[in-house]
């Protein structure tokens, strides 16, 4: 018998996946959540496919052991490099961030020309380009390695961040992609920069937030269990939130709050042995 309140497990290499959790809490208030941030071993972008897959599978087992009935891989690198491995090993449904983002871009574009910004590892994998080109869309990918540290510094409206973003987007929307009409945020840190990116991107451009797209995909998967709107009784019951971090609990609470938009409590330190 399916429990009335399913538990959704959310995995990321660090803090960015909390932007996915933030939207999930808005869309699916009738679920409980367990979030795993592998903060001791980030960033994943410099690691091999085998290492990323191993780390992701360890997190998967941990979340399943804590009752997760569905897994959201809220890490673009882990999705790009290891989603198939995770899905094969997991005992529950698995949703990554790339396919939902690509599908949202397909729905948003009018001229089938897409720009994707992300970390170096995500761009190097070409996972977004493959997903978008499979939908008949022309794609340019642009690595923006400075944006993540600027977000984690809290500089989401700082003039330095705006200047860096202008340089990156100037390169991305150049030459044959000057008229691209859709920008995909291929990193879950980037939703914090949406107001800034709206100012910096060409006026005609629609911004696709892969964190929001992923949460909507999860809501669609769970519609049979818990309607995305939720009934009045379910909304009165606050979701249970569990957080697991492999590094400093204090740092997770401090940095994580800016991504989740609320105070973070009940963080458990997890020591995953190499």
Residue 2: pLDDT band with limits 50, 70, 90: very low
The Cβ of residue 206 has, within 10 Å, a number of other Cβ atoms equal to 17
Sign of the CA dihedral with 178 first, then 181, 182, and 183 last: positive
Residues 124 and 168 in one domain: yes
**Could you list the residue range(s) of the whole structural domain that residue 190 is in?**
98-210
148 in a structural domain: yes
2 in a structural domain: no
**What pLDDT does residue 225 have?**
52
Distance separating alpha carbons of residues 260 and 160, to the nearest angstrom: 24
The residues that are catalytic are 75, 187
**What pLDDT does residue 1 have?**
44
Residue 138 reports pLDDT greater than 80: yes
Residue 183 reports pLDDT greater than 90: yes
Residue 228 reports pLDDT greater than 50: no
Phi-psi domain of 230 (left: phi exceeds 0; alpha: psi -120 through 50; beta: other): left
Phi-psi domain of 239 (left: phi exceeds 0; alpha: psi -120 through 50; beta: other): beta
Please count the CA atoms within 13 angstroms of the CA of 174 that sit on its side-chain side. Answer: 9
Q: What total of structural domains would you count in the chain? A: 2
Q: Which CATH number belongs to the domain containing residue 157 in this structure?
A: 3.40.50.1860
- The token pair at 8 is 């959704």
Residues 87 and 102 in one domain: no
Distance separating alpha carbons of residues 221 and 215, to the nearest angstrom: 10
55 in a structural domain: yes
Contact 101, 210 (CB under 8 A): yes
104 in a structural domain: yes
Residues 206 and 217 in one domain: no
Residue 260 reports pLDDT greater than 50: yes
1 in a structural domain: no
Place of tokens 């009409």: 181
Residues 17 and 107 in one domain: no
Per-residue pLDDT tens over the stretch 53-75 = 999 999 999 999 999 999 999 99
Residues 178 and 91 in one domain: no
Distance separating alpha carbons of residues 196 and 161, to the nearest angstrom: 9
Q: 247 versus 42: which is more confidently predicted? A: 247
The separation between CA 80 and the C-alpha centre of its own chain, rounded to angstroms, equals 12
**What pLDDT does residue 231 have?**
53
Segment 109-135 mean pLDDT? 96
Cα distances (angstroms) measured from residue 40 to each of 14, 140, 158, 212: 8, 32, 27, 26
- Picking from 136, 118, 133, the residue whose alpha carbon sits closest to that of residue 81 is 118
Distance separating alpha carbons of residues 180 and 163, to the nearest angstrom: 21
Residue 94 reports pLDDT greater than 80: yes
- The token pair at 156 is 């989401």
Residues 91 and 220 in one domain: yes
Task: Please report, rounded to a whole number, the percentage of residues in the chain having pLDDT higher than 90.
Answer: 85
| pTM of the model as a whole | 0.92
């Amino acid at each position: 018998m399916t429990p009335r309140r399913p538990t959704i497990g959310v995995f990321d290499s660090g803090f960015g996946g909390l932007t996915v959790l933030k939207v999930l809490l808005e869309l699916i208030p009738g679920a409980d959540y367990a979030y795993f941030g592998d903060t001791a071993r980030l960033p994943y972008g410099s690691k091999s496919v085998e290492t990323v897959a191993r780390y992701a599978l360890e997190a998967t087992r941990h979340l399943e052991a804590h009752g997760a009935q569905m897994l959201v891989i809220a890490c673009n690198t882990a999705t790009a490099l290891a989603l198939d491995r995770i899905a094969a090993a997991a005992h529950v449904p698995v949703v990554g961030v790339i396919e939902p983002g690509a599908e949202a871009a397909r729905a948003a574009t009018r001229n089938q020309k897409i720009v994707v910004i992300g970390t170096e590892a995500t761009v190097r994998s070409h996972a977004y380009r493959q997903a978008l080109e499979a939908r008949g869309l022309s794609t340019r990918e642009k690595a923006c390695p400075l944006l993540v540290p600027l977000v984690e510094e809290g500089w989401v409206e700082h003039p330095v961040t705006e200047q860096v973003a202008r340089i990156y987007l100037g390169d991305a929307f150049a030459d044959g992609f000057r008229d691209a009409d859709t920008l995909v945020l291929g990193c879950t840190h980037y939703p914090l920069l949406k107001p800034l990116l709206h100012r910096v991107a060409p006026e005609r451009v629609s911004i696709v937030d892969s964190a929001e797209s992923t949460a909507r995909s999860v809501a669609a998967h769970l519609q049979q269990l818990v309607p995305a709107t939720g009934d009045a009784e379910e909304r009165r019951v606050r979701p249970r939130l569990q957080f697991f971090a492999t590094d400093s609990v204090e740092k997770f609470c401090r940095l994580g709050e800016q991504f989740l938009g609320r105070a973070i409590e009940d963080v458990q330190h997890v020591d995953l042995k190499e």
